[in-house]
Chains A and B, each alone.
Chain A
């Protein structure tokens, strides 16, 4: 049985107004973050994963707006205004590059203390003590609180950004590519730390990433996005082990795997569609080796079997398609 969702996103639509027309960056995304789980939001550039997270936090770019759908936190609908009150205390954010969230002219300690005092109403002394506690929590020495961001290595800055996000004990952490720019050993150290923190503090987490191996290592659930929509979601082992959408199958083939015997990676030909255009049917159809005439017509219907969702019309044949997808020749015929 799935724990009840802390965060539920229903049919979310985010539009950006640009000179060349409206970009439907997120076009009907539905997913949930169960309490105490780590959910990976995975997809390639432009699939809408970062936009979705920014919309949840109510910090869309100026030309972006929520054109439809609902976001519920603890069963209560939230919008840009009401999210503001939840930021830091309930929902906190960890960016990809901690350099952009840390101000270069203040010490790291001063910035964490400011969050504690301004947002949390802590006294100067209490903030100082709590900042030291937070540093210890993320594996940094409290002597480093007096240092400036540029004196930290990339991994240490990411730890500091996580410490800051945890300052007011949020229940949900939204992390956007938090380990992408890091070296593998540092990356592993941060992922291990996130897992430990999640268990100790009973956090729920959304991990936005393009890296399915990071999802495989850290996440409990995964939501796969393509061209602004969710194409597959469910428990990580299910979705990565027995993918039911051809896009996920293709991603698995294209992803380098240190331990596999295969000596070649298989690309997915073509590119994602232009999100300014009106699109019907499955958006992956032009790149899909298993496409049928019916795929490009009409709206998508989600098929859910044992918590494993997919929008592929041929999901009933998933086992057969999966076997065919392992053959590199399948992907050349498109």
Chain B
């Protein structure tokens, strides 16, 4: 199967303000948000990107949508390099690749009616106005808000969180995109509503044959959405494989810690103690070699000297750990 989205050695550094000492010494400190990520996403695949705050997962999503430019490396969409897009080709890409925002309460302009919010992408894409009403109605049906007359003239504050998230999704789908990036699409919603949105995301993906990337801090949640999961730590990919394998049989020591830390809603399940201590190090000065080594219970000399490459350990399962060679 050919990849729809492909990243090759993608690096993204954000420069930070320099202290006097750093200016004198000619240093250019930067937050190393992503450091050498290579990833292929096949057409119609759904991939979860999980990790803690600051691991680079949101930056990765923004890069795939060309909302920010990589410091180095290349990203292609359907065989075309994103770096070379401009003018008409960029507009064509924007129609095909959409973002679903994290917080439905901030994602919509409070002064726009729901109709205008959902129709806006059509306006930006230059779709004739005569087609707007039909397209909006179709998008509303997709997200199961069928009685659309009830919503179109309303304003965001008149809707519940679950309804708003459906509207946000309708807006992302109104141009019938091929690729969707959703950044924590349900983290702001109540539990009883969240399950409905997850089911909807799955259904929409299957019906439209969408390629989707779900960014989340919650491993327990993405299990219901994606067959494949990428685990990130401090700007690097540490593990990539089938979600069921990652959850049941994590290979990388960081993934193991992450799985052990996820709480479960069952008081009878005894939870293993957390296998790691300490905090995520400063992304301006990550450890040499493996970035996880100073928290890793299994670290040895080689881990400080050499960054482990992602290597395939089983079919479709890749791990970046020296223990696994």
Interface of A toward B, CB cutoff 8 Å? 44-45, 153-156, 183-189, 191-192, 210-217, 236-237, 240-241, 250-259, 263-269, 271
List of A residues within 8 angstroms of B263 by Cβ: 184, 187-188, 191, 211, 213-214, 216-217
- How many residue pairs link A and B with beta carbons under 8 A? The number is 123
Contact at A189–B224, with CB atoms within 8 Å?
A: no
A-facing mask of B242-257, CB < 8 A → 1, else 0?
A: 0000010000000001
Contact at B195–A212, with CB atoms within 8 Å?
A: no
Q: A237 CA to B264 CA in the complex, in Å? A: 13
Which B20-74 residues have C-beta < 8 A from chain A?
A: 52-53
Contact at B220–A257, with CB atoms within 8 Å?
A: yes
- Residue from the list A45, A183, A259 in contact with B52, Cβ < 8 A: A183
List of A residues within 8 angstroms of B271 by Cβ: 217
Q: Does B120 contact A (CB under 8 A)?
A: no
Known pairs A188-B263, A215-B267; list 15 more (Cβ under 8 Å). Answer: A153-B279, A156-B279, A185-B257, A185-B258, A187-B263, A214-B263, A216-B269, A217-B264, A241-B268, A252-B265, A254-B195, A256-B220, A258-B220, A266-B195, A271-B162
A-facing mask of B171-214, CB < 8 A → 1, else 0?
A: 00000000000000000001111111011000000000000000
List of B residues within 8 angstroms of A191 by Cβ: 263
Which B255-306 residues have C-beta < 8 A from chain A?
A: 257-269, 271, 274, 276-277, 279-280
- Residue from the list B267, B269, B276 in contact with A259, Cβ < 8 A: B269
Are A257 and B265 CB-contacts (below 8 A) given A184-B217, A267-B195, A271-B193? yes
List of B residues within 8 angstroms of A250 by Cβ: 192
Contact at B221–A256, with CB atoms within 8 Å?
A: yes
Q: Does B19 contact A (CB under 8 A)?
A: no
Q: A217 CA to B268 CA in the complex, in Å? A: 9
List of B residues within 8 angstroms of A212 by Cβ: 191, 265
Contact at A213–B196, with CB atoms within 8 Å?
A: no
Q: A255 CA to B224 CA in the complex, in Å? A: 11
Contact at B192–A267, with CB atoms within 8 Å?
A: yes
Q: A254 CA to B160 CA in the complex, in Å? A: 18
- Pairs A–B under 8 Å by Cβ, sample size 14: A184-B258, A184-B263, A185-B52, A186-B279, A212-B265, A240-B266, A252-B265, A254-B194, A255-B191, A255-B265, A258-B219, A263-B224, A267-B194, A271-B193
